[in-house]
C-alpha cells in the first residue's frame, strides 16, 4: 500500500518562485456551502487523489469526495481510498466492449453518487462524449505539460526531447479532443540541464499536487455561479 504523502504544501498560499510559477496565483480559497460534491477517476498510484483529500482535510478545499472510480484492481489509488475511508468502485475497462459502454457505466455511478464535478486525477483512458456531455464543463483533467504544448502520452519525455527550458502542468476542462479545453490553472517548472524523465516528472507532479485542488475550487465556483446554485 502506498505510504501516506506529506502533502502540507497542497494548501500553501503561494508557490516557491525559485522552483515554480503558477497561474492564477493561489490566494484566498472560496467557501462552498454545502461542500462541493466530487467524483474522482484514477488509474495508477493515486497521489493526486490523495492531494485533493489532503486539501479537504486541511479545510482549504471545501469539498467532499463522494466516489473514487478506478479501472485497475489493486492500484495505488484504490489502496489510498481504503486507507482514507473514501468510497471506491472498480470499473475494469477490459470488461467493456467499447469506451462508450464504460462511460455509460461511469455516468450512472457518478449520478448515483450525486457528484457535481468529476476530476480525472491520472485516469489513463480516453473519455468519450458520453461522459463529457453528461457533465458539461464539470469534467476536470490534470496533464503534465503546459498545454497546448506536448499533448497526449509521455508529455515529460516529449518536453525533454524538444529541449525546452520550461515545462509544467495544466488543469483544464475536458472536451472531446484529447488534452484540449479551457485552462483553469497552470504551474511552470524549469527544466534543468541534468534532468531525467524521472526527475522532471517528480517536480512536475509536486506542482500538480498544489494546483489541482485550487483548480477544483475555481471550477466549482464557475459551475455553481453558472448553474444558479447558491453557496460559493
Catalytic residues: 143
Largest CA distance in the chain: 50
**Cβ–Cβ under 8 Å, residues 5 and 171:** no
Cα separations in angstroms, 65 against 87, 101, 121, 126: 8, 24, 13, 22
Amino acid at each position: 500500500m502506498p505510504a501516506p504523502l506529506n502533502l502540507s504544501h497542497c494548501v500553501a498560499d503561494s508557490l516557491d518562485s525559485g522552483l515554480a510559477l503558477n497561474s492564477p496565483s493561489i490566494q484566498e480559497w472560496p467557501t462552498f456551502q454545502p461542500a462541493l460534491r466530487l467524483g474522482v477517476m484514477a488509474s495508477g498510484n493515486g497521489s493526486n487523489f490523495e492531494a485533493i483529500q489532503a486539501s479537504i482535510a486541511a479545510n482549504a478545499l471545501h469539498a467532499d469526495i463522494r466516489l473514487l472510480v478506478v479501472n485497475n484492481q489493486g492500484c495505488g489509488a484504490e489502496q489510498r481510498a481504503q486507507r482514507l475511508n473514501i468510497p471506491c468502485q472498480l470499473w475494469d475497462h477490459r470488461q467493456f466492449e467499447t469506451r462508450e459502454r464504460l462511460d455509460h457505466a461511469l455516468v450512472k455511478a457518478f449520478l448515483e453518487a450525486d457528484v457535481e464535478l468529476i476530476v480525472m486525477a491520472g485516469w489513463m483512458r480516453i473519455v468519450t462524449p458520453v461522459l463529457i456531455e453528461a457533465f458539461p464543463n464539470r469534467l476536470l483533467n490534470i496533464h503534465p505539460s503546459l498545454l497546448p504544448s506536448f499533448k497526449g502520452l509521455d508529455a515529460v519525455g516529449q518536453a525533454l526531447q524538444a529541449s525546452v527550458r520550461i515545462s509544467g502542468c495544466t488543469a483544464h476542462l475536458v472536451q472531446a479532443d484529447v488534452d484540449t479545453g479551457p485552462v483553469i490553472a497552470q504551474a511552470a517548472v524549469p527544466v534543468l540541464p541534468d534532468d531525467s524523465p524521472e526527475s522532471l516528472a517528480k517536480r512536475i507532479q509536486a506542482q500538480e499536487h498544489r494546483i489541482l485542488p485550487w483548480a477544483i475550487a475555481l471550477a466549482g465556483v464557475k459551475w455553481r455561479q453558472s448553474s444558479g446554485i447558491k453557496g460559493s
